[in-house]
Chain A
Amino acid sequence: RKEVEQDPGPFNVPEGATVAFNCTYSNSASQSFFWYRQDCRKEPKLLMSVYSSGNEDGRFTAQLNRASQYISLLIRDSKLSDSATYLCVVNADSSYKLIFGSGTRLLVRP
């Protein structure tokens, strides 16, 4: 079983749609959780950290369920510029070491 699992997609949605990505992680000792965005041929950029209380940043909402070891990302009112690969990332064993999921590809069409 992979340490961090994501649906690879692609998710193909029209502009304005709401889309949700899910991610599961296997290490119950993980303490830090993140969503990164990676554009084609670019480095990953931190989109948001994910807290137990859930957090929102504009059109983006992230939630964490520690009991189910599950992380989600909701994007509302999708824009063409949201097209990218979204990486679910958790730390390993409370350490600085990050474990990356394989990513979920999003395509937003006009």
Chain B
Amino acid sequence: SAVISQKPSRDICQRGTSLTIQCQVDSQVTMMFWYRQQPGQSLTLIATANQGSEATYESGFVIDKFPISRPNLTFSTLTVSNMSPEDSSIYLCSVERTGGLYNEQFFGPGTRLTVL
């Protein structure tokens, strides 16, 4: 598995502001993903970030709200823009590694965001 770190681990923000979350991996990976886990719910994919191309967003998520950067093969950022209390969630990045018959995904420790 990969060693994945995220910064910040948690933050409390005021509505209307933006927060950028960083994800760092200990080795080069092609595909990185950003997920959201709202309180009491399971994970939902926000977007896929490949180096050298624009992120691909899932239905219900847009670039203006969640801009993503992927400047190299070990790093990505997700920005939560113009935050509202509904954005209070855990945000997780993950990377894909080839494992056995399937490609497997491994998750960072998450960023716990509270918007007041």
A contact residues vs B (CB 8 Å cutoff): 31-34, 41-46, 49, 51, 87, 91, 96-98, 100-103
Q: With the chains together, A110 CA to B28 CA distance in Å?
A: 43
A33 to B105, CA, bound (A): 11
For the A-B complex, the count of residue pairs with Cβ-Cβ distances under 8 Å equals: 52
| Contact of B42 with A96 in the complex, beta carbons under 8 Å | no
A-B contact pairs, 7 of them (CB 8 A): A34-B104, A87-B43, A96-B31, A96-B33, A97-B48, A100-B42, A102-B42
Does more than half of chain A's interface fall in helix, strand or loop, or is it mixed?
loop
Nearest CB on A from B22, distance (A): 15
Q: A91–B101 Cα gap in the complex (Å)?
A: 13
Among B13-21, B67-75, B79-87, B106-114, the one that faces the other chain is B106-114
Partner of B106 from A46, A49, A96 at Cβ < 8 Å: A46
9 tightest A-B CB contacts, nearest first: A32-B102, A43-B107, A100-B42, A100-B43, A102-B42, A43-B110, A49-B102, A43-B109, A44-B107
**Residue among A43, A91, A100, A102 with most chain B CB within 10 A:** A43
Complex CA distance for A101 and B44, rounded to whole angstroms: 10
B92 / chain A contacts, CB cutoff of 8 Å: 43-44
**Cα(A43)–Cα(B101), bound, Å:** 23
Nearest-neighbour CB distance to chain A for B88, whole angstroms, equals 14
| Contact partners of B1 in chain A: CB under 8 A | 46
Closest to B1 in A: A46
From A41, A45, A103, give the contact of B107 (CB < 8 A). Answer: A45
Are B42 and A87 interface neighbours, CB within 8 A?
Answer: yes
Question: At the interface, yes or no: B53 with Cβ under 8 Å from chain A?
Answer: no
* Minimum CB distance partner of B92 in chain A: A43
User: What residues of chain B lie closer than 8 Å to A46, measured between beta carbons?
Assistant: 1, 104-106
